[in-house]
């Protein structure tokens, strides 16, 4: 009785072997065949957080495994996309697009520009990114609203500054002097919300909506 070949057998490139394994799973696993991009979103979020946990508290083995699980999500999305009847693309297209973008955004590496400090690198990065996004009409375009409220707040405060809408920091004299103290202050605010019966996540998201309105108003007036 003949046995099935190992997934990715005969492929020397481990990344290619992983992609071939995903292709076989998509083609032959009845559960995987029914999965859509939308179905994968909760798994993508979960795997991303597991990578973060591995970075912050895990071992090297944990990190290697969790990065693999996150890579599987990318391969899975690409396998689904390859079967789209109207606009298919596969993992090679994803990799090609990524490579082209990263080459454009690192002209100091690939195109003879000079960047001797991280700040100079950021100038090149932002210039390349701005050139790519010329169709965007607002500094808020492209910000994923599904981000956790605190991460979204940090992103939007930066975008607001580009539109010259300032979000004033707290009193520096009484404010935290380190990231550890900032963590204490944020936790204290959450504790305050709990005692008062408020939803801290909702409160911040509602405030961010006001900030977005202010930014769009400033852009419309300019």
Q: According to the model, what pLDDT value does residue 2 have? A: 45
| Alpha-carbon gap, residue 20 to 179, rounded angstroms | 44
pLDDT at 90 over 90: yes
| Alpha-carbon gap, residue 69 to 61, rounded angstroms | 12
Residue pair 51/71 in contact by the 8 Å Cβ criterion: no
Mean pLDDT over 23-52 rounds to: 95
pLDDT at 1 over 50: no
Q: According to the model, what pLDDT value does residue 5 have? A: 54
Residue pair 193/201 in contact by the 8 Å Cβ criterion: no
Q: According to the model, what pLDDT value does residue 102 have? A: 94
Query: What burial class does residue 40 get, using C-beta atoms within 10 Å of its C-beta: 0-12 exposed, 13-18 middle, 19+ buried?
Result: middle
Q: According to the model, what pLDDT value does residue 12 have? A: 83
Q: According to the model, what pLDDT value does residue 8 have? A: 60
Q: According to the model, what pLDDT value does residue 49 have? A: 93
- Computed over every residue of the chain, the mean pLDDT equals 90
Highest-scoring range by mean pLDDT, 52-66, 141-155, 167-181: 52-66
**DSSP secondary-structure letter at 138?**
S
Calculate the alpha carbon distances from 118 to 121, 124, 125, 192, 209 in Å. 5, 10, 10, 38, 32
pLDDT at 72 over 80: yes
Minimal CA–CA distance to 72: which of 36, 52, 47, 35? Answer: 47
| Alpha-carbon gap, residue 204 to 151, rounded angstroms | 11
Calculate the alpha carbon distances from 19 to 9, 16, 26, 48, 76 in Å. 12, 5, 11, 19, 9
Instruction: Dump pLDDT digits (tens) for 114-147.
Output: 889 999 998 888 788 778 777 677 888 888 888 8
Mean pLDDT over 192-198 rounds to: 95
**DSSP secondary-structure letter at 22?**
H
Mean pLDDT over 2-13 rounds to: 62
| Alpha-carbon gap, residue 76 to 42, rounded angstroms | 13
| Alpha-carbon gap, residue 114 to 108, rounded angstroms | 5
- Tokens at residue 77, please? 């999305």
| Alpha-carbon gap, residue 143 to 89, rounded angstroms | 24
What φ, ψ does residue 66 adopt, rounded to 5°? -70, -35
Q: According to the model, what pLDDT value does residue 122 have? A: 87
pLDDT at 163 over 60: yes
From its phi and psi, is residue 113 left (phi > 0), alpha (psi between -120 and 50) or beta? beta
């Amino acid at each position: 009785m003949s046995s099935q070949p190992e997934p990715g057998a005969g492929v020397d490139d481990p990344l290619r072997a992983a992609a071939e394994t995903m292709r076989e799973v998509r083609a032959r696993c009845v559960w995987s065949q029914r999965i859509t991009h939308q179905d994968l979103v909760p798994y993508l979020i979960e795997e991303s957080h597991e990578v973060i946990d591995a970075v912050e508290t895990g071992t090297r083995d944990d990190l290697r495994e969790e990065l693999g699980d996150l890579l599987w999500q990318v391969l899975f999305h690409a396998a689904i996309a390859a079967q789209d009847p109207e606009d298919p693309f596969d993992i090679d297209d994803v990799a090609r697009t990524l490579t082209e973008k990263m080459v454009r955004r690192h002209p100091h590496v690939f195109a003879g520009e000079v960047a001797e400090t991280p700040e100079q690198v950021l100038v090149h990065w932002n210039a390349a990114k701005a050139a790519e996004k010329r169709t965007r009409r607002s500094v808020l375009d492209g910000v994923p609203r599904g981000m956790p409220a605190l991460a979204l707040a940090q992103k939007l405060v930066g975008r607001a500054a580009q539109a010259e809408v300032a979000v004033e920091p707290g009193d520096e004299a009484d404010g935290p002097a380190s990231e550890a103290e900032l963590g204490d202050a944020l936790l204290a605010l959450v504790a305050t919300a709990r005692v008062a019966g408020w939803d801290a996540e909702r409160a911040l998201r509602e405030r961010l909506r006001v900030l977005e309105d202010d930014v769009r108003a400033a852009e419309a007036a300019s």
